Amino acid sequence: MLSLNRTTRVFLKTGVTDCRLGFDGLFAKVKDEMGEDPTSGFYFAFCNRGKTRLKILSFDGSGLVLYIKRLERSTFAWPKDGKSEIDPSEFQALLAGLEVRNRRGWFRLPLPAAQGAATATVAEACAASSTAKW
């Protein structure tokens, strides 16, 4: 499990990363392309071309740890170029399926029906809220 607090540093490898890479390939990307020390204990996140898979490389003191997440619906909001460091709270929101749109606030992406949650598209939710009388 990821342990994130205010002092945790999280780096995103912007753009597309081949998610077939394992420990050694991602270690080399962090060292060569990002210019960071992979054994620093920071979190380094990588995303595939379809923005549906996320890999996080970290060093826990005794060895490398690789976390993997695959979204079943929607995509990650991933930057296209440059090296990016984000706040741990923003990273937790990214992992939870939240994203910021036009700085208007957070919204939660609908869960699939297989998990028992009511599914409504964002458009339906917006339409329902605009017709509701307060």
| pLDDT tens track for 53-78 | 999 999 988 999 999 998 888 888 77
Evaluate if residue 101 carries a pLDDT over 90: no
Residues 129, 125: Cα–Cα separation, whole Å: 6
User: 40 is written with which tokens?
Assistant: 């620093």
- Percentage of the chain surpassing pLDDT 70? 69
Q: What local confidence, expressed as pLDDT, does residue 83 receive?
A: 54
Strands 43-47 and 53-59: antiparallel
Q: HSE (CB half, 13 Å, CA atoms) of 51? A: 12
Which residue type is seen at 40? S
Residue matched to tokens 């984000």: 86
Task: Summarize pLDDT for 37-51 with one digit per residue, the tens.
Answer: 899 989 999 988 888
Which residue type is seen at 58? S
Q: What local confidence, expressed as pLDDT, does residue 56 receive?
A: 92
Evaluate if residue 34 carries a pLDDT over 50: yes
DSSP tag of 13? E
Please give the sequence-ordered ranges of beta strands (E in DSSP) within 3-120, or none if there are none.
Answer: 10-13, 43-47, 53-59, 64-70, 83-86, 98-100, 106-108
Q: What local confidence, expressed as pLDDT, does residue 133 receive?
A: 46
Which of 11, 4, 7 has the alpha carbon at shortest distance from 79?
11
